[in-house]
Chains A and B, each alone.
Chain A
Amino acid sequence: MSLKRNVSLATGLRYRGQGPMLTYVLHRIGGLGMAIFVAMHILASYLGGDIGGLLNDIYENWAFQIFVFFCALFHAINGLRITILDLFPKLIEHSREAIWIEWAVFIPVYGIAVFVILSTALGG
């Protein structure tokens, strides 16, 4: 039995899921980003040598750090929201508010981190 969606890509892109949809998409991007980063990092540490050095150079780059920190921080904060709401289903009523709290935590912490990364990378 295979699944048939009958929804085209164009229709999918026009879907307006608003805040919850955005967190779902970013959670997925963050998870994928971290999985790729951790896999690269383990491989680089295990292999060492030229390949390891090349991979190290990639993830020590400030642009990559900004991306990976976004993945890790958003996935961690959003994951905590999902865990709390799933383990305490009565809180589902307040899921919209939970997403606002999530952004209120994420934006300042991520903003400070990006500022620190950039001022270290570009300011010397």
Chain B
Amino acid sequence: MATTKPRSLPLSKRGLNFEMLMWLFTRLSALAMYALILFAIIGALIMGARTQMNLADVLRWGFMPNSTHVQSTDVPDLAPWSTPLWRVAGSLLLLVAVAHGMHGLVVIADDYIVSSRGRNIVRILSIIMVIAFSAMGLYIIWTS
């Protein structure tokens, strides 16, 4: 094996580029999703989930605070579960999760698709899918 000089640069010369920012975004969005899910679960417990929902339903609400997720439980009134606060929280979780997930798919695709043409196609497809899934998700959250 031929010896090659290491291609990594010291931190001070690396600067910021899009891939580095997405690397950071992946970590920070993970923390943001933890915070949003915790917020939704605490909110559910305050709104009476402790006596009206089982653990699976609380988690379903936690992973996406959308009122359709509590329809089949013993909650007497859906109104407190479909306030603008929860729609905004759900929208934030949706946008962060779609961006995090789609970037993850691009990272996986880059391991197998190595031509620059192929990688460009993957990126264009990923942008289209981020927009499409965000739009569909927002439509569901704000019309349900």
Contact = CB atoms under 8 A, between A and B. Distances in A.
A3 B118 CA distance: 13
B97 A43 contact: no
Contacts of B97: 38
Contacts of A76: 34
Contact of B105 (A35, A72, A116): A35
Interface stretch (B44-52, B79-87, B135-143): B135-143
B104 A80 contact: no
B56 interface: yes
B44 to A, nearest CB: 17
A34 B98 CA distance: 11
Q: Which of A35, A46, A80 has the most chain B CB atoms inside 10 A of its CB?
A: A35
A2 B101 contact: no
Interface of A: 1-3, 28, 31-32, 34-35, 38-39, 42-43, 45-46, 72, 76, 79-80, 82-83, 86-87, 116-117, 120
Interface of B: 27, 30-31, 34, 55-56, 63, 68, 97-98, 101-102, 104-105, 108, 114-116, 133, 136-137, 139-140
Given A80-B30, A86-B27, 17 more contacts: A1-B116, A2-B115, A3-B114, A31-B108, A35-B104, A35-B105, A38-B97, A38-B98, A38-B101, A42-B140, A43-B136, A46-B136, A46-B139, A80-B34, A83-B30, A83-B31, A116-B56
